[in-house]
Amino acid sequence: MRRARLRGPSSAAYGIVVLALAGCGSSTVGNEPTAPSRTVTVLAAASLSESFDRLRADFGDSHPGIGVEVSYGSSATLVQQVNEGAPAQVIALAGEAAAEPLDRSLVKKSGIFATNVLEIAVPPDNPGKVNDVNDLGRAGLKVVLCAETVPCGKAADATFKKARVVPSVVSREVDVKATLAKVKLGEADAAVVYHSDVVAADGAVTGVPIPDPLNTSLRYPIITLADDAATAEFAEYVLSPEGLSTVQSFGLGAP
């Protein structure tokens, strides 16, 4: 696999309520844990929760002097937080368009590390008998989407426009994990999420593919907001063959 590389700012577009904070890695001397000498704070899209939890752990094992803290949520909110001064060295977003509002003066380097596509998630027994995207317009079906302002919601709206379907929406949620939860809890017949979220659900939902001509694909950027060595090491690790392989093992596509 060709290794992706960080690149400096260009004229191309770069695209939460913070939901979870992962602890930083540590090293040990004998039996006594020692705190890492450097810490990298990462803000990542909700759809990256599982893959970045693994990346954080694996990076910590191979870089015992660097701790990594990761918070997850809606890409739109993450960008807003960074623009308002939230302390972060790295931001990883669901789609380049999500980075368009990011203050360009804050960007040090960026690179694409993954792609993702939409998929319909239904309960394992599929009570709504959803077999394709056209079924989501059926009256009485309970469909849940991401909010219109976040990448998964915008992508879903683009897909419905191409399919010429008006979905039977009962709610729009703050991010893709909250959207998927509605199906997991039996509160919806279907939700439009990312393929990686269906994979991460590990059988709790069933995926119904959306044909390529109707689907919407997103390219995920990782953007560094600081130029210190620890930040660069983590970003380069994500973009390394090992990091890309980890990301892809959770259902995301190659960059």
For the chain, how big is the Rg over CA atoms in Å?
19
Q: What is the pLDDT of residues 63-84, one digit of tens each?
A: 999 999 999 999 999 999 999 9
Q: What is the pLDDT of residues 116-161, one digit of tens each?
A: 999 999 999 999 999 999 999 999 999 999 999 999 999 999 999 9
Tell whether the model's pLDDT for residue 34 goes beyond 90: no
With bands split at pLDDT 50, 70 and 90, how would you rate the model's confidence at 32? very low
| Section 166-193 average pLDDT | 97
Q: What percent of the chain has pLDDT over 70?
A: 86
Where b means 16+ CB within 10 Å and e means fewer, 219-250 reads bbbbbbbbeeebbbbbbbbbbeeebbebbbeb
Taking the CA atoms of 241, 243, 248 and 253 in sequence, report the sign of the dihedral they define: negative
Average pLDDT value for the chain:
89
pLDDT of residue 8: 52
Task: Lowest mean pLDDT of 9-23, 67-81, 94-108, 153-167, name the range.
Answer: 9-23
| Section 94-115 average pLDDT | 97
Q: Cα 192–114–159 angle (5° rounding)?
A: 30
Nearest to 88 by CA among 177, 190, 18, 185: 18
With bands split at pLDDT 50, 70 and 90, how would you rate the model's confidence at 35? low
pLDDT of residue 20: 35
Tell whether the model's pLDDT for residue 27 goes beyond 90: no
Q: 66-73 and 38-45: which strand pairing?
A: parallel
Tell whether the model's pLDDT for residue 238 goes beyond 80: yes
- Please list the residues that pair with 70 across neighbouring strands: 22, 42
- The DSSP code for 253 is B
Q: What is the pLDDT of residues 184-219, one digit of tens each?
A: 999 999 999 999 999 999 999 999 999 999 999 999
Separation of alpha carbons 149 and 16, rounded Å: 11
Tell whether the model's pLDDT for residue 169 goes beyond 70: yes
Tell whether the model's pLDDT for residue 239 goes beyond 50: yes
pLDDT of residue 37: 80
With bands split at pLDDT 50, 70 and 90, how would you rate the model's confidence at 6? low
With bands split at pLDDT 50, 70 and 90, how would you rate the model's confidence at 17? very low
Tell whether the model's pLDDT for residue 226 goes beyond 90: yes
Is 43 in contact with 84 (CB distance < 8 Å)? no
Is 240 in contact with 189 (CB distance < 8 Å)? no
